[in-house]
Structure 1
Amino acid sequence: MPLSPRAKYWLVSFVITLWLSLSAGAFWYYQWRWNEQFSSLDQLALFDGTEFSALLTRASVPGKISLIHLGRDDCFCNRFNEPHRQAIKAKYEPLGIIFQTLPLPTQLNVATPAVALVSAQGQLAYFGPYSDSLLCSLGDGLVEPLLDQLLLGYLPDVIHTTGVGCFCTQKTE
């Protein structure tokens, strides 16, 4: 039995309302559930490598340029940083750069994700963010020019930096 125009109208209205509700629910689940953590997206983070210099140089490989990723597993910002890290690794690992990860305990007050570059001579050359952009995007990298300088034998000394972007810091409770 065919539906009357009025019944078709209500059926179409119901289907559209259901579809919009499900779409809004999916959007909330995948995006807005992080809403509290988005406060970390546009924050200024200070990086001071002075207190970590000895730890980072011990973690490096002697005689090799080392890129040491500093992070926490529970940091929401890692998902934005990962594509940039992979692109850097794909470009510089074949050139002899050693890539390492140094997990940081949450009680250390360091903004993460962060990166340290240690020269082949064992000197801390850089400590700070991967890039200076909201989501640590590929085109705004701070690390790549410094790696190029290290490969050419220059020793940059950039261990006190700031960055604006997505960083996780020590939780204050």
Structure 2
Amino acid sequence: MPASNKTVTRYHYTVFVLWLVLTLAAANYFIAGRLMSFDPNMKLSGQDSSTVIKQVRAISALKNVNLNHAIIHFTSDECSCTQYSDEHKRAINEQAKSDGFYVININLPTDLLTIIPSTPAILITGGKEELLYFGPYSAGLACSASNGYVETVLQNYAQGFNSDLVISDVKGCYCNI
């Protein structure tokens, strides 16, 4: 029976450290490639809520739509990040409908020049077409509800607070338009 070598040598440590470094470098490379700025061209910089509503109204699908108590989802078929936000979007829609909001889905072409800097994005308006929230569903790679803004805005509005919030300086899984 051959004797087993239970001695850990410098070679074993070197291979382990090299494997660990390469694994961390690969993970960082792939994660950084998916993390995009929501508003890289600063379209929303310095915009007040009335200007945002006016510019959103310029989108042809919203010209004659009543925006009282509305939630508008902006997506793009070409955006791979949309798949990650679908579950979050469904949860938002359920909460919003129970709170008296109606939901509009807008699919934007990638070459449309609007105030929408990236997709997926969401606009929430209150009872007098006042802006409650405009920006991404959430931050991070998965656009999940665990790091979302929308739920907080809807909860605050139900308690009588208007956040008038435009979020643009955040990173996550977004497709720039």
| TM band (smaller chain) | 0.5 to 0.7
Which TM-score applies when normalising by structure 2? 0.65
**1:51-75, Cα deviation, whole Å (9 max, x unpaired):** 642143684635x421110111111
Give 1:93 shift: 1.1
Report if the CA contact (8 A) 2:69-2:127 is conserved. Answer: yes
1:44 aligns with 2:48: no
**1:27-82, Cα deviation, whole Å (9 max, x unpaired):** xxxxxxxxxx97752122226284642143684635x4211101111111110010
Give 1:118 shift: 1.0
CA-based RMSD of the aligned residues comes to 2.5
Match runs of 1:69-148 below 5 Å: 69-107=73-111, 108=113, 110-148=117-155
Report if the CA contact (8 A) 1:77-1:167 is conserved. Answer: yes
Unaligned residue ranges in structure 2 (runs of 5+): 1-29
Partner residue, 1:54 = 54
Which TM-score applies when normalising by structure 1? 0.66
Give 1:146 shift: 0.5
Give the Cα–Cα distance (whole angstroms) in 2 for the partners of residues 55 and 102 of structure 1: 15
Structure 1 segments, 4+ long, off by >6 Å, are none
Q: Which amino acid aligns with 2:54?
A: A
Q: Percent identity?
A: 26
Match runs of 1:154-173 below 5 Å: 154-170=161-177
Give the Cα–Cα distance (whole angstroms) in 1 for the partners of residues 101 and 122 of structure 2: 13
The structure with more helix, counted as a fraction of residues? 1
Q: SS at the partner of 2:157?
A: helix
**1:132-163, Cα deviation, whole Å (9 max, x unpaired):** 12110121110011112222332212124222
* Count, aligned residues: 133
Alignment CA distance shift 1:76-1:147 (3 Å): same
Unaligned residue ranges in structure 1 (runs of 5+): 1-36
Q: Which moved more, 1:127-136 or 1:90-99?
A: 90-99
Q: SS at the partner of 2:176?
A: coil
Give the Cα–Cα distance (whole angstroms) in 2 for the partners of residues 52 and 102 of structure 1: 16
